[in-house]
Structure 1
Amino acid sequence: MAIEREQVVGLLLEACPSFEDPWRDGVEEEGADEGGRLHYVDAAAFARHVAALLAAGRTAELPATFAVIERLHVEGDDHVRELATIGYLEDLQNALLRAGLPTDLAVGWLGPVSVRWWRGVQDFWSGRTPPPVRPVD
């Protein structure tokens, strides 16, 4: 059975317990769509949190965190795979840039499928490839 959108935050909270408080704060502030959470809002908040962890050198939760991102790419349904790339990876690249950190700071933590999509996002935004975002070897 594929991972569905409603399962994503639970998996990430389990892997990265330090995200619990920021996520709960966001639930109250942002509201929901279609009776559920705004998944891309969650992704942006999570990306900011991971960028802050990287900036602070707090890496204990990162292996499990990026293992979940890899699972989203490999085991997710169509919506979850897109969310993993366009939500979590793209937002993390942007969060790192906004924090003044190099985007390659996260690459070493990514699984092999996630790295391909990470590069695809970079190629898309650099103009090297047309839409849609595709994985890059």
Structure 2
Amino acid sequence: MKKEISKSKVMELILQACPSYKKQWDEYVQKNYKNGDEQLLYIDLANFATYFVDLYKHNKISEFPSVFDVIELLLTNGDDFVKEAASIGLLEDLQNRLLNNEINTNVFNQYLKQESLKWWNHLNDLWDGKTNLCWRSSP
């Protein structure tokens, strides 16, 4: 049986997949957390989503395949909280950041894997009013 990924491992996996984010992450943590504070994964993922879309805007996409591999891993091997954070948190944040920058959300389709593509499309359908949100079951 595979060990599920817990929320304490998520940012570590993202940093391994996207080492260029390390400096910004360190500055973000220093600015937003004091020693002993519980880190808020949804807020952390929102910060990463902003950084990640900025990479796209500057055509710095070399880390994209490894980041999307991690997103797929979180959606398939994460505990329930991590799966929810990866879908309703990270994927939705990425879509919102793209739209806020007037970039079509389909630009990431080529990087999405099987499970992440399902959730990406599910979120698009949700925003278009074509479906109701239910993260506990696969879209």
Q: What TM-score do you get using the length of structure 1 for normalisation?
A: 0.91
Residue 79 of structure 1: which of 57, 81, 95 is its match?
A: 81
State the distance in 1 between where 2:123 and 2:33 align. 28
Which 5+ residue runs of structure 2 have no aligned equivalent? none
Quote how far apart the aligned CAs of 1:35 are: 3.4
Q: Aligned residue for 1:50?
A: 52
State the distance in 2 between where 1:128 and 1:31 align. 39
What number of residue pairs does the alignment pair up?
Answer: 135
Q: Which runs of 4+ in 1 moved over 6 A?
A: none
Residue 35 of structure 1: which of 34, 37, 40 is its match?
A: 37
Quote how far apart the aligned CAs of 1:98 are: 1.2
Greater relative contact order (CA < 8 Å, ≥ 6 in sequence): 2
Are the equivalent residues in 2 in contact too, given 1:31–1:38 (CA < 8 A)?
A: no
- Alignment partner of 1:2 is 2:41: no
Which 5+ residue runs of structure 1 have no aligned equivalent? none
Which structure 2 residues correspond to residues 83-102 of structure 1 after superposition, within 5 A? 83-102=85-104
State the distance in 1 between where 2:71 and 2:42 align. 14
Which structure 2 residues correspond to residues 54-133 of structure 1 after superposition, within 5 A? 54-133=56-135
Q: What TM-score do you get using the length of structure 2 for normalisation?
A: 0.90
Query: Which letter maps to 2:12?
Result: G
